[in-house]
Amino acid sequence: MREVATTRDVLLHGHRIRYRTAGRGPVVLLIHGIAGTSATWDEIIPALAARYTVIAPDLLGHGDSAKPRGDYSLGAYASGIRDLLAVLGHSHATVIGHSLGGGVAMQFAYQFPQRCDRLVLVSSGGLGEEVHASLRAATLPGSEWVLPLMCAPGVRDAVNSAGSMLARLGLRAGPDLEEGWRGFCSLGDADSRRAFLHTLRTIVDAGGQRVSATDRLYLMDVGLPVMIVWGERDPIIPMQHGLEAHAAVPGSRLELFPGAGHFPHRDDPSRFADVLLDFLDTTEPADITDEKVHELLRRRAS
C-alpha cells in the first residue's frame, strides 16, 4: 500500500515551516529548487516511505513556509535544515537536493559533515558558472519592478501565453514546463518575489552562478557516499557540471537520464525512485569525524 505524505507545520525561530513527511526508518531529507516547493517530490515520496522516514520541507521563502526579510544564503538554508531535523527529533539524514537544493545539500554536508549520511545531487546548482539566461537576467537591477508586471494576475491567468513564453526560454513540454509554470505562479505576491530575488542574488549574478563548491569537493572524500543525477537535456544547468563533479569526487555514482530535462525525478519518477533506493541499499551511512575532516584539510594545505 502506497503511503501518502502528510503536510505539517512547525515553528522554527519564530517562522512557520511547512513540510511533507511519511514513513518510518532512517531519515531521507528532500530539498527542492528555487521557486519550487516540496510538491516536486510527490511522486517519489511513497516509494521511499515504505522503508524510510521522508521529510520534504518548503524552504524558507518558498511555498507555504514563511517569507520574512532575512538571510537567504546557502549557509542559512543549511543551518535551517539542521535545526528542522533537530526540532523533529533527528540528528542526521541522507540529504537529497535538486537545483538550488543541491547547493543547500552540499553546504549542509560542508557545515555539518557528521549529520550527513549520504549526499544525492540532482541537477545541482553550485558546480559551475553556467546557468540559464532567464535566471541571470532576474538578478539585474530593476527586476524588482519588472517581476510584479510579469506576475500580475492577468498575466498569470493567461496560461497558454505563459506556456508559450516559457517554451521560448527553452523549457520543454512536460515536467520542465510544468515546474517552470508552477514556479512562475508562486511569485504572485510581493513577499514571495522578495524572497526569490534575495535567494537568487546570493548565488547568481549577470555572469552566471557565482557560488561554487568545486574547490572543496575533495572534502567529500571522507567516506561520504555521493550520487549525482542529471537529465541529459537539462536546459537550466548543463549536464557537463554533473560529469565534472563526478570526476572530482572519488567513488561517486553518476546516473544520467536520457531525454530528461532539469527535473529527472519528474521526467521518470519510477526510475528515479529505483536508482535512489538502490543507492541507499548498496551504501552505508557515513561515519565522519572531525579528525577525518581536519586531516584532509591539512593534507590539501601542505
In angstroms, the Cα distances linking 164 to 160, 170, 181 are: 6, 10, 10
- From the candidates 58, 117, 176, 234, which is the catalytic residue? 234
Indicate which residue of 38, 99, 192, 212 is catalytic. Answer: 99
- C-alpha cell belonging to residue 139: 538578478
Rounded Cα–Cα distance for residues 65 and 57 (Å): 8
Distance CA 167, CA 274 (A): 30
Is 67 within 8 Å of 75 (Cβ atoms)?
Answer: no
Q: Summarize the chain as % helix, strand, coil (round to 5).
A: 45, 20, 35
Q: Active site includes 9?
A: no
Exactly one of 262, 265, 267, 268 is catalytic; name it: 262
Which residues make Cβ contacts (< 8 Å) with residue 63, sequence separation at least 6?
18, 32, 36, 37, 38, 39, 186
262 counts as catalytic: yes
Read off φ and ψ for residue 263, nearest 5 degrees: -125, 70
Q: Is 267 a catalytic residue?
A: no
Closest CA to 118 of 281, 300, 231: 281
Which residue do the cell numbers 506576475 mark?
Answer: 151
Catalytic residue IDs: 99, 234, 262
